[in-house]
Amino acid sequence: MERNAYTELIDAMSNLLDSAFPGGEHVSRRVEFLEAFEGALASQSRKSKVEEGSPIRITLLGRCSISGVENVVDERSWKTQKSMLLFAFLASRVNRPVPDSLLTGTFWPDSDEERARSSLRNALHQIRTALAPVTGGSEIVERNRRSRTVTLTMPCVLDTDLFEASVREATELYAQDRPGDALEQLRSAMPLCGGEFLEGFLDEWVLSLREHYNELHLRALHLLARCHLAMGDAAAAEQVARFAVTLDNYREDLHADLIQALTAQERRGEALRHYREMVDTFETEMGVVPSSLHDIYDALLAEGPERMSSALQGTGAWSRTSDRSRTVAGRTSARRAVVQRVAS
């Protein structure tokens, strides 16, 4: 509501009160009504500014920050780290009631129930205080004492949600044989991933979500490399794949992207050397080599990039329990001997 609208309403209320209390009677009562009325309008204005204006942006990938229209709340703004982490926990479940017992068990596991609930109340007060510069003082945390739940109700946009939605959309576009559109979607998504989830913190729930978003980041990089290859830009695919394997050196899909990118640039010798190094790493560190890597090797050595492109479609993230992994035996040793001859 604009300020001139406030003035008109205040004037109208003043006229009504003058009529109700003529001749200057009950002046203090009239002033009291006016002050209460103006205060209520100002409070509603702050609430409307949060609800109807640009949504508050919450960054959890990297360092935690909350950005409003004019102000930013970063990690230095919090009285305690625990209150900031509690806010991040609630933000990851925004608009969903979270049981008090889950919050106290997560953040104050060693305290008795009464002390833990007191600590929760204090931390929620700290959240309201810390976020006042971006919320305008409006209520953003809802306590339901009957159900004993806490709900973060602020209108917001989380970088984690945006990143997840973008990768999902890009995956669907790529499956529809639209690599160009998928590539654009991924290019807009990648700047969102400014670091690991709540970088620097080692709480158990943080590590669990960090693993999820790290995996999502790797999947996005794999898809980005595939899109570049589909668009005929093998050099860009190589750059993405080389970066991806520095983040996780035990993923067959990322190594497969790099091998295909090198092969597409007619650098078969380098592709074979990378295969040899990769097999050595898997054999030395894990004792097994995913069978799909043998398939890639067969395609690379025997029939070239066209057959290899088909073989690459079956690659995925490596795991110890994968039924596609096999013990490295004589077949691997024989392959290594051939690779050494061809690559040298």
Alpha helices by DSSP H, the chain: 3-20, 27-52, 81-91, 100-107, 113-135, 159-175, 179-189, 204-230, 234-247, 252-264, 268-285, 291-298, 305-312, 330-343
Q: What's the pTM value of the predicted model, to 2 decimals? A: 0.74
**Confidence (pLDDT) at 70:** 84
Tell me how many domains the chain contains. 4
The C-alpha atoms of residue 33 and residue 14 are separated, in whole angstroms, by: 9
181 with 83, same domain?
no
Domain limit, last residue, from 89, 123, 154:
154
Q: Of 90 and 336, which is predicted with more confidence?
A: 90
Compute the average pLDDT of residues 283-300. Answer: 76
Domain range for 107? 58-154
Domain limit, last residue, from 213, 231, 249:
231
The conformation of residue 61, written as its DSSP 8-state character, comes to: B
216 with 237, same domain?
no
**Confidence (pLDDT) at 55:** 81
36 with 98, same domain?
no
- Confidence band, pLDDT 50/70/90 cuts, at residue 29: low
The C-alpha atoms of residue 69 and residue 38 are separated, in whole angstroms, by: 24
Structure tokens at 60: 């959890």
Domain containing residue 150: CATH number: 1.10.10.10
